[in-house]
Amino acid sequence: MIDNVADYAKQGVPPESLAQFFLKEYFAKKTIEFLLNPFQMLTDIEIPFIFRPFNKYEGIYIPTADEEDIPVVGINLKRPIHRQRFTAAYELCHHIKDTHAGCMCLSNSQSITERYAEDFAAELLMSSIEFKYQVSLYEKDGYIDFEGVLKVADYFGVSFKSCINKIAYRLHKIKA
């Protein structure tokens, strides 16, 4: 499964497409159930992860050095659970796409590689099709209020900020 996804990533697809392809492969013929568990996803594709109290990093991805080695993901223990979930999805992207180099993920990094992993993680955790549906449940006159945003964020297990950003900048459903 992961080889198919890695091959697809090599085609230079957008991060949202890669996340959707991963979900399709991961769930195969099963229905996708939200709240997704990125920790279980890492476990299922045999990527061990550890929680550590990093000072400068949200997470790290350490790829294999050779055939007998295993990759490892580190997640910042000091961060809230919704951020840890995001980091697990983010590091999953590095495993799929960036296995050639270890990745230390600084807070607020804007490199192309880090931005790609961020967009992948956001799409993985808040799949656009389900996201639009959930937003529609709380829409009034074409917009969603903050209480609705909180409910959508809770449904996906993401931060209020990441949820409102996607609603405001992708769906344009927040009144100015």
The domain ranges of the chain are: 2-125, 127-176
Q: Give the Cα separation of 79 and 98 in Å (integer).
A: 24
- Predicted confidence at residue 65, as pLDDT, reads 83
pLDDT at 103 over 70: no
In 3D, which of 94, 118, 85, 70 has the Cα closest to residue 5?
94
What average pLDDT does the chain have? 92
Query: What residue type is 100 in one-letter code?
Result: H
Q: What is the pLDDT of residue 60?
A: 92
State residue 101's pLDDT score. 56
CA 6 to CA 97: how far, in whole Å? 6
Q: Which CATH architecture has domain 2-125?
A: Orthogonal Bundle (1.10)
Q: What is the mean pLDDT of residues 7-18?
A: 95
Beta bridge partners of 74: 50, 60
pLDDT band at 104 (very low <50, low <70, confident <90, very high): low
Tell which residue, 172, 168, 18, has the closest CA to residue 92: 18
Q: Please give the model's pTM, rounded to 2 decimal places.
A: 0.91
pLDDT higher than 60, residue 102? no
Both structure tokens of 47:
């990527």
Q: Which of 93, 138, 143 is nearest to 116 (CA)?
A: 93
pLDDT at 107 over 80: no
* 72-84 tens-digit pLDDT: 999 999 999 999 9
- Read off the pLDDT of residues 128-162 as tens digits, 9 standing for 90 and up: 999 999 999 999 999 999 999 999 999 999 999 99
Q: What is the pLDDT of residue 122?
A: 97
